[in-house]
Chains A and B, each alone.
Chain A
Amino acid sequence: MSLRGKAAVVGVAESDLGEVGPGFTPLDLIGQATLRALDDAGLDKSDVDGLFSASAYHHMPTLSAGEYLGIRPRYSDATSMGGSSFVSHLFHAAAAIDAGLCEVALITYGSTQRSGGGRLVSGSEADPYEAPFNPRYPVSMYALAASRHMYEYGTTREQLAEVAVSAREWARLNPKAFMRDDLTIRDVLDSRMVSSPLSIRDCCLVTDGGGAVVVTGAERARNLKERPVYVLGAGEAHWHRSISQMPDLTVSAAAESGSRAYEMAGMGPEDVDIAMLYDAFTINTVLLLEDLGFCEKGEGGAFVSGGKISPGGELAVNTNGGGLSYNHPGMYGLLLIVEAVRQLRGECGDRQVKSANLALVHGNGGVLSSQVTAVLGSESTL
């Protein structure tokens, strides 16, 4: 069964971002984002009959969101596999809509982790076979992957720093980005080491924030307010939960999720105008560019160097500034979709990628554990 072009994103929004201040709850941000996304779509809350969410705050996230919003869905999906969950929700929503199980799906997320203490809020349990050695979750796990990539392919800290600098260059074009100061490779290299080889500037931000995405069937989408952004393909894969169980630390399951999404879309990496890759750490961007076919395995370090993924470079990657410089509210996957849709609609102002018709959205979750890819396209790609 192919879902190609069967469903479309018709509304997107961020909640307030950055630091929203004390007192606001994650559900308040879900409320903000939902109102804005429904308004963007020209739909009413009463139109929503499918609800999708994941959370580090709420054990039963669609129940909590549904109650707060006053939505009584007939289809509810709280798939939880870390930051990629929301790309998975998009995939599952397209399938549910195609199967007639719901007509209008709302995917939503909110987190107040910055105002609530400034540390990552995570529901992750400790792995009893890893915990005695005190890895710092999750940065040490990604640092281990970086160390292996460096060993096998000669990837350097400078190349990882290129990822952070490129993200910052994009962020400087985005008024909603949390970090917009100048950033040089030297700054990244000299910043405080957290878990070698990753310094604090190799790590994503800890911000508040949330978002909402409204999805419906292609036919209904054509009669709504905004130009639809079609789901052309999607795929998911996971091979491990704990880093010590990851078969090869230089190859993520994105190699499978990406192939599945490309195959459904009938597209390949050469067709992609913008790539939104979940950059929890700088090594992610390198690994994902390789695993999603933009370059050969081991060449990711060279691929990101010399401004090739910066504004005006060869490939537009993480045009909102990414988790590294825009916002990263604990789980970031939903905001990848928001940016991709805005780029395909041409709403991105200074950072708008010219004639962007095809976007790759890729979510990562856990410790390089879950990988979910979606290919989104404008009308011309159908």
Chain B
Amino acid sequence: MISAINIAQEALAAEQSALNTTANNVANQNTPGYTREIPSFTTQDTYLLNGYQQADGVTAGTPTSVRDRVLEQRVEQQTQVSSASSTLETALNSVQDVFGLTASSTSTTVTALGTAVDSFFSSLTGLANNPSESATRQEVLSAAGNLATAFNTASTQLTSITNGLNTDALTIVGQVNSLLGSIASLNEKIAVQDPNSDAGVLEDQRQAAITQLSQYVGLDQITTSNNGIDLTTSNAGLLVAGNLSYPLTASLVGGAVQITAGPNNTNISTGLTGGSLGGTLTALDTSIPPIVSNLDTLAYSIATAVNAQNELGVDANGNAGQALFTIGTTAPGSAGTIAVAVTDPNLVAAAGAGEGSSGNTNATLLANLVNANIAGGTTADSYLASTLAQIGEAASNATTDSTLQSTTLAQLTTQQNTLSGVSLDEEASNLTEYQRSYQAASQLFSIIDTLFASALNFGVVTSVS
């Protein structure tokens, strides 16, 4: 009888503990990173009574958090990829804006620079047709000025984007550092309180901090003894080791962001991927420099070709021609510094040598530069078109990738919330629902593919172009 009472009391206590756990779950429903705890019932020892095996009731153990590191790490990895991709997309869209490109058109004619290049060569054709008219000479100088301004403006805007990204990188490093100390401190508390089992709320807090850190930088995790997690950057820069944190340092060296990590201040700037810091560094180190370089090459090529040709001719005063553009001795920086060197329209050398100052031979040769392979082995217009196409393609790819990565992240987060979050729905029914959605989307993919193929192959004229 006493035993029966004991069993009943233990069962009641266990039920109460389970109720407390449920109440705790509901109370924390909106706490970021909170992981649902499930009550753990353990059967007490059995004993023999009157020849029958009797159970001694149940007791409630410490609640166990419903977590799985595989899923948590997938969410973190996807967060890193998605954040990097979104940052790169933003940067490349800004670059696209500099040139006035849109998602649907990368034609040179829609850009200020393309228009300026075309107008400049058109003005030279006008000069060849009317070499004696001061208005056509003035038009050449005006068009040259507009061309230089278009280069200068694009260069200034690209520099501004680069400077903004440099500042972003320094800010992000500050945000990373503010989280590292918290994670190290939580490692220490977990090692003391729960070295061999789930640490519940403390692990939730650490997980939330790691997920937040994943938005900023690509991470690798190492699970250590005493329930600890050590962290490094994606390229092995040490961030957290047990209860110690190693803040990153960031500085501008020669205009480039340099990041160091770990106790030896190792330079980890190269190869740091993931998170908004990784996306920012990719934009700074990989995406923007070729665009700046191409812009400089184009400015330098046009200026040096025009200068060389103008110096071969005779100006309206009967003197040998001189440089029309001020330009450096090498291409780097040319887009930012190109300027018109002369203000007197009579200094445009339209005539050829020995032709007299009213000739047009040199003006024709200047105008013909529009078809000459003066920039990177091709014409100025083709070179610009190719550069704009590269920018458009890079921005388009970044947008596609960012959409994909954020969609995948949204889905993983939904699934994590189902399994590890506070959910009143049954997981089984959710899985069935997921499967149903997957099948519906697969079916839609097939329908659209068929419609697409029909429109392309069978010439549905009102359909896809």
A-B complex is real = no
Enumerate chain B interface residues (CB-CB to A < 8 A): none
